[in-house]
Amino acid sequence: MPQAYGDIDMPAPRVIKKYPNRRLYDTELSRYITLSDIHDLVMHGIEFQVIDTHNSEDLTRSILLQIMLEEESGGQPLFSSKMLAQIIRFYGGTVQGLFGRYLEESLSLFAQQQEQLMKALGKDPMQTMTELARRNMTVLSEFQTSFMKAAGFRSPKDTVD
């Protein structure tokens, strides 16, 4: 059944049940699936939720992390050891929530720009790249300023002489 979101009907996320025997069951397809199948759902932009049948706990994040671990273990990793160590340092700190939001917003912006770039490639690629770089710098600068202010840092513009 679709969920109402404002005036827009959005489909409910596909429910994947995880049984105590570690098997995953896709309720829409009425069959057992693998992590590879869930990877395909992610790649196709299909919303889903993994629910533990034992206690109804939402396991979606842990399943996604498991997929990321498999991706990182094989082939060319996305995250360097240095980057992972820096991310770990944010856990439990005062800016953990802000950092998570910063990463989420940055990835969202990157995905939007990638989509825009693909649409605009029929136009002048150099002009498109220059425009995107300029816009990216402005947005990231504004977001970084907000992030730093929220963390308690003041910019030189905020100081009173």
Residue 5, pLDDT score: 46
What does the domain layout of the chain look like in residue ranges?
3-73, 81-155
Q: Say whether pLDDT at 35 is over 50.
A: yes
- Whether the pLDDT of residue 88 is over 50: the answer is yes
For the sheet with 24-26, list strands across it.
31-33, 24-26, 14-18, 48-52
What is the mean predicted confidence (pLDDT) over 52-71? Answer: 95
